[in-house]
Amino acid sequence: MAQSVRCCCWLLVLTLVALGITAAVVFVRHKNGGGGVPGSVDPKYAEALAVALQFFQVQKSGKLVKNEIPWRGDSAVDDGQEAGLDLSKGMYDAGDHIKFGFPMAFTATMLSWSVLEYGGAMRAARQRDSALDALRWIMDYLLNAHPSDDELYIQVGDPEADHKCWERPETMSEKRPLTKITAKSPGSDVAAETAAAMAAASLVYKPIDGTYSSSLLRHAEQLFAFADRHRGSYTHTFPKLSAYYNSTTYQDELLWAAGWLFHATGNGSYLSYATGENGQEFADLGNPRYFSWDDKRPGTQVLLSRVSFFASQGSGIEQDSLDGVESYKQTADAVMCILLPDSETAAPRTEGGLLYVADWNSLQHPVASAFLAAVYSDYMLTSGKTELSCGSQTFSPADLRKFAKSQADYVLGENPMKVSYLVGYGDSYPQQVHHRGASIPADVDTGCGGQEWLESPEPNPNVATGALVGGPFRNDSFVDKRDNVMQNEATTYNSALIVGLLSGILSTSPVAQSLS
């Protein structure tokens, strides 16, 4: 039965270059007017997308431009000065005031991927400019944080000191020390994630600002070479940081970055990197996992499945690489199978229907997985693949889209608690989000000791609009208390994930045709 579904507004084309030796897999605009969406825009998801994007304005550091958040002001404007750098931009990761480069770079990668796949839908909902504004604020910071080939500043602030204070970012006075990785103090995970962010963003900006795009791509290649040449995890180099964003391994980030660099450059060596010995050693192919800021393997599998879906004979890609890509696609298939609730290999759900992976920040994995499902559904439809095999069962792209929408709907209020976990959307959403700036009145200077506002039983005086909080427990319960960090803290990477998901299910259109 024909289904009206959302297609990719950026399609894959294989372009032969360099005498056919290298093939570029690039995102190109849909032929009907540069990424336009012929289908209708769902007003519910459009409203939710507009709300979600506001959290990036809430999280901005530095001297604000056209500030639309009345309780926010300039902050951390001197960040980076001790190293002669301008690190004032970027975003605070959550309710605190540290700029952690690892999750910030992932946030940027996901914003870029969302714009590349669904920029037309975003434009139709009049939200693409907001997404680009957030992305540029992060990328300006990341570019400045990479002053030389083998040097990347990965953190601003002291998390131990920061977490002892409850204050607004505008009034904080603690020292803001800088942390960097070098050849002697490696951090392949954060360097490779930053490379991925820059490569993905270079694709976004290529038709908008060619000079900026070229700069991003140059830095991306330098950072990938640095990450690969000087291997090591940043939390092994700086053990104290493992208490915050502990990186399980750097291997997945190397493959993730190689995948994005292949798409951005068309250089077949990056695809060979991901499908050759490194892929065989690092990708854990055949074992489906859940996508997150710490584990990029499912994202890489979906990203590289583009090549398998859209490559044609004579594409110029070496057969070994094509065989390796097929292994990525097969694993991506397995990832999709565990996401589908009716599959024999379905992962655990709450009674309310939420994919459940972890107690802490329980919404991250289902939202990230739902985004991948929406993208994969569109890849299948665009390439003419109508069935997904899960053992003895088969499923359609529409089944993947149904799962993606179910997770978004749960987030937006269709859950046993009848609460929207997206702050500012709907009639009932968390009132005591664990967020310092939101919890303290804008005219109050607490110094470091604003604990009374942390402990206050009253709703936050400021609404952290667009915040996606951690979410419910396995029994679908949720406690709206400010000190309930597991459930009630919001993060910028959560916001990037929900922006991607909402953009992916925003509109309906006929199945697009590949331009290959």
Three-state helix/strand/coil letters over 224-276: HHHHHHCCCCHHHHCHHHHHCCCCCCCHHHHHHHHHHHHHHHCCHHHHHHHHC
User: Which helix (H) or strand (E) segment is 208 a member of?
Assistant: none
Whether 219 is covered by a domain: the verdict is: yes
What average pLDDT score do residues 321-341 get?
94
What was the pLDDT predicted at 351?
98
Residues acting as catalytic residues: 434
Please state which of the ranges 7-16, 47-56, 423-432 shows the lowest mean pLDDT.
Answer: 7-16
What was the pLDDT predicted at 398?
96
CA 325 distance to own-chain centroid: 22
On the question of pLDDT at 314 being above 50, the answer is no
What was the pLDDT predicted at 317?
80
What average pLDDT score do residues 159-178 get?
95
Say if residues 332 and 298 touch (Cβ distance below 8 Å). yes
What was the pLDDT predicted at 123?
95
On the question of pLDDT at 442 being above 50, the answer is yes
At residue 148, the 3 state secondary structure works out as strand
At residue 379, the 3 state secondary structure works out as helix
What was the pLDDT predicted at 37?
53
Whether 135 is covered by a domain: the verdict is: yes
What average pLDDT score do residues 252-259 get?
98
Whether 184 is covered by a domain: the verdict is: yes
Model pTM score? 0.93
What was the pLDDT predicted at 289?
95
User: How many domains would you assign to the chain?
Assistant: 1
Confidence of residue 322 (pLDDT cuts 50, 70, 90): confident
On the question of pLDDT at 313 being above 50, the answer is no
What average pLDDT score do residues 231-239 get?
98
On the question of pLDDT at 462 being above 70, the answer is yes
What was the pLDDT predicted at 310?
84
* Domain range for 384: 10-504
What was the pLDDT predicted at 316?
67
Whether 513 is covered by a domain: the verdict is: no
On the question of pLDDT at 150 being above 70, the answer is yes
What was the pLDDT predicted at 315?
58
Please state which of the ranges 58-72, 300-314, 467-481 shows the lowest mean pLDDT.
Answer: 300-314
What was the pLDDT predicted at 324?
85
Whether 446 is covered by a domain: the verdict is: yes
What average pLDDT score do residues 435-462 get?
96
Q: Which single residue is written with the structure tokens 């802490």?
A: 360
Q: What is the mean pLDDT of the chain?
A: 91
What was the pLDDT predicted at 318?
81
What was the pLDDT predicted at 321?
83
At residue 320, the 3 state secondary structure works out as helix
What was the pLDDT predicted at 311?
73
On the question of pLDDT at 3 being above 50, the answer is no
What average pLDDT score do residues 74-97 get?
97
Whether 373 is covered by a domain: the verdict is: yes
Please state which of the ranges 7-11, 312-316, 501-505 shows the lowest mean pLDDT.
Answer: 7-11
User: Any residues with CB less than 8 A from the CB of 18 and at least 6 apart, and which?
Assistant: none
What average pLDDT score do residues 283-304 get?
97
Say if residues 76 and 100 touch (Cβ distance below 8 Å). no
Q: In Å, what is the CA distance from 34 to each residue of 24, 326, 397, 512? A: 20, 30, 25, 13
Whether 515 is covered by a domain: the verdict is: no
What average pLDDT score do residues 323-333 get?
94
What was the pLDDT predicted at 32?
30
Whether 359 is covered by a domain: the verdict is: yes
What was the pLDDT predicted at 509?
57
Helix axes 268-275 and 297-310, enclosed angle (nearest 10)? 120
Report the C-alpha gap between 315 and 514 in whole angstroms: 14
Domain of residue 146, CATH code: 1.50.10.10
On the question of pLDDT at 100 being above 50, the answer is yes
What was the pLDDT predicted at 312?
56
Beta strands 22-29 and 99-100, pairing class: unpaired
What average pLDDT score do residues 12-26 get?
32
Report the C-alpha gap between 288 and 301 in whole angstroms: 10
